[in-house]
Amino acid sequence: MTEETFVPAASEWYYPSDEVVKNAYIQDYDAAYAEAMADTPAFWAKRAETLDWYQKWDKVLDDSNAPFYKWFVGGKTNIVLNALDRHIKTWRKNKLALIWEGEPGDKHTYSYWRLWQEVNKFANVLRSMGVKKGDRVTIYMGRIPELVIAMLATAKIGAVHSVVYGGFSEQALADRIEDAQSRVLVTCDGAWLRGNIVELKKIADQAVHKSPVVEHVVVVKRTGHDVHMQAGRDFWYHDLMALPIASTNSETEVMDAEDPLFILYTSGTTGKPKGILHTHGGYQVYTSTTLQWTFDIKDEDRWWCAADPGWITGHSYIVYAPLILGATGFMYEGAPNFPYPNRWWKLVEEYGITILYTAPTAIRGLMRFGDAWPKRHNLSSLRLLGSVGEPINPEAWKWYHSVIGGNKLPICDTWWMTETGGFMITPLPSVGLKPGSCTRPFPGIIADVVDDEGNSCPPGVEGKLVIKNPWPGMLRTVYGDPERMVKTYFSTYAKQGWYLAGDSARRDEDGYFWIIGRIDDVIKVSGYRLGTAEIESALVSHPSVAEAAVIGVPDEVRGNVIYAYCLPRAGVAISEELVDKLKQHVRDEIGPIAVPAKIEFVSVLPKTRSGKIMRRVLKARAMGMPEGDTSTLEE
């Protein structure tokens, strides 16, 4: 290792300082990787032994019904046993589990003891509403501690949570409630965002109207503005938590390792979102190991994963993994630039954050405001930085490294997906970095870049990213549609049994992976994952649109923005007003994250003779590039 910490070499390598290496759990990546690959089930078993189980597993991996793999078969546990119950028997009961700041500046802290008590109380509330093991509970909230409490309470009683991101509209929420058949919905009156109230309860009311399977709605009072409460159906969280039934004694349900923990909906190639299902046993082993080794979490750390708990990043690395490791996590409710663009840096300084994990879109967004904002603050508490959600461009990487990281902090660029449960290709802090590369696979993971026949691509050649072996954090199924899981992820390389990520990538001579982007009809907008089909179907559900095609166009800050091409129905007059109406319509159907940056009316859409829209042609046109082979074009 070089003495000069993190000075870029000519080849753009960045090496960690001796101190970073000395602190790292894994100081020799190659040795750790080799050990994990020598006997992978034994490796994961060793990791699982660091956690508590009511009963030990009989078999680490059952691959007899691949790709429906089972991990820690016969083991009995509950993720809450590891995330909370075990800590309150140790000194950690007094340690801060969660530090929270609201957008208006209000603050709350939870020790492990207090969090455990709140979770127990809410678990009893849910039980009193008749929620049992295996039942689904939908959670639709802003970024407040009660969201974490609701997730843990649901898991504690063996029910299955389905968290729907607070930026989704009533239709998206209704669809997800309906698919999961949740009888209980937990929400809040509103959430603060950029000084405004997001009317979550109002949206929830409309969703419940569309999806009447919901019998009870629990409402956390956050913003305190007037909301409609329907007698007999809606209850205030604080009223329920004050009832004698909400006692702090609550048994943790004994779960089979393979019992479901949560469903999380994500976008794919069809209009219907997929409910990705994760389980108690393997997920707890995978998320806690990946967090500990990648971000080197220690008891002294203050870990800030600046994602939303409503996405997988939040599930795995705000809620479960940090708590399992007994770490102190920080969570902030609002916008990064509210009221000024220094808000995040002020938070880092004030709370002494040691590790910051965020998305390239946030980095680029804050970079735009200039260096003066972070430079006002003392960021010297930081010791590691992280990135996730989309490829980080070298310019943003370098800004993050130099301005936020004082030219010395490593950036762990973690590649993974909702389906993988945790980090798959990621640097450990002791390895050399190259800006823009997520480096090499986590120990225990075999990743490759292959061509259509499954041959490994030579260095520098683009191909499909695949995972060639099972891992404990992998999805178990698509809720209610196991066939879709096989078809989407395991049919392209069925013969070999490999998992298809849906990303294209390159590997360089050093074996470092460079993610290029999605190969399917999925667009990453500000790190959010959206399906073109979802947005197209929202557009054509408007009476003025006959057909629609949606593409992602590169954008400096958001990674991609959405362009939509609409074929109007006969007799429809095209106007700016109609464009606004359609944008509003998409907002109502999916949510603000899906609103196209541009809507253009066309008289014809480029299609193949078999009727498939050639989005590639639209994209080339939008970007002013050659259209490529258009010989299959119908018109």
3-state secondary structure string across 211-227: CCCCCEEEEECCCCCCC
b or e along 250-285 (b: 16 or more beta carbons within 10 Å of the residue's beta carbon)? bebbebbbbbbbbbbbbbbeebbbbbbbbbbbbbbb
Q: How far is the CB of 6 from ligand PRX (least distance, A)?
A: 20
Q: In angstroms, rounded to a whole number, what is the distance separating the alpha carbons of residues 194 and 198?
A: 10
Q: Can you say whether the dihedral through the CA atoms of 114, 119, 124, 125 is positive or negative?
A: positive
Q: How far is the CB of 436 from ligand PRX (least distance, A)?
A: 9
Residue 229, number of CB atoms within 10 A of its CB:
15
Contact 527, 360 (CB under 8 A): yes
Q: Hey, which residues does 560 pair with through a beta bridge?
A: 554
Q: Tokens in use for 326?
A: 């007994």
Give the H/E segment covering residue 111.
strand 107-111
- Helix runs in 269-318, H state only: 280-295, 312-314
Q: Hey, which residues does 554 pair with through a beta bridge?
A: 560
Separation of CA 264 from chain center: 9
Q: Hey, which residues does 358 pair with through a beta bridge?
A: 387
* 177/417 with CB nearer ligand PRX: 417
Q: How far is the CB of 590 from ligand PRX (least distance, A)?
A: 15
Q: How far is the CB of 320 from ligand PRX (least distance, A)?
A: 14
Q: How far is the CB of 584 from ligand PRX (least distance, A)?
A: 25
* 157/465 with CB nearer ligand PRX: 465
* 80/388 with CB nearer ligand PRX: 388
Q: Can you say whether the dihedral through the CA atoms of 196, 220, 349, 357 is positive or negative?
A: negative
Q: How far is the CB of 336 from ligand PRX (least distance, A)?
A: 18
Rg of the chain's alpha carbons, rounded to an integer?
Answer: 24
Q: In angstroms, rounded to a whole number, what is the distance separating the alpha carbons of residues 158 and 255?
A: 7
* 223/358 with CB nearer ligand PRX: 358
Q: How far is the CB of 284 from ligand PRX (least distance, A)?
A: 18
Q: What angle do CA 528, 530, 531 make, to 5 degrees?
A: 165
Q: Which of 553, 73, 116, 145 is nearest to 309 (CA)?
A: 145
* 142/391 with CB nearer ligand PRX: 391
Say which amino acid occupies 399: W
Q: Which of 251, 416, 320 is nearest to 51 (CA)?
A: 320
Q: In angstroms, rounded to a whole number, what is the distance separating the alpha carbons of residues 14 and 12?
A: 6
Q: How far is the CB of 316 from ligand PRX (least distance, A)?
A: 8
Q: How far is the CB of 501 from ligand PRX (least distance, A)?
A: 6
Q: In angstroms, rounded to a whole number, what is the distance separating the alpha carbons of residues 489 and 474?
A: 11
* 373/416 with CB nearer ligand PRX: 416
Q: How far is the CB of 560 from ligand PRX (least distance, A)?
A: 11
Helix 576-589, helix 532-540: angle, nearest 10 = 120
Residue 633, number of CB atoms within 10 A of its CB:
13
* 35/462 with CB nearer ligand PRX: 462
> What residues make contact with ligand PRX under the rule CB under 6 A?
266, 312-313, 388-391, 413-418, 438, 501-503, 515, 518, 524, 529
Q: How far is the CB of 19 from ligand PRX (least distance, A)?
A: 25
* 241/392 with CB nearer ligand PRX: 392
* 259/503 with CB nearer ligand PRX: 503
* 420/430 with CB nearer ligand PRX: 420
* 518/621 with CB nearer ligand PRX: 518
Q: How far is the CB of 415 from ligand PRX (least distance, A)?
A: 4
Q: What 3-state DSSP class applies to 478?
A: strand
* 331/501 with CB nearer ligand PRX: 501
Q: Can you say whether the dihedral through the CA atoms of 564, 570, 573, 578 is positive or negative?
A: negative
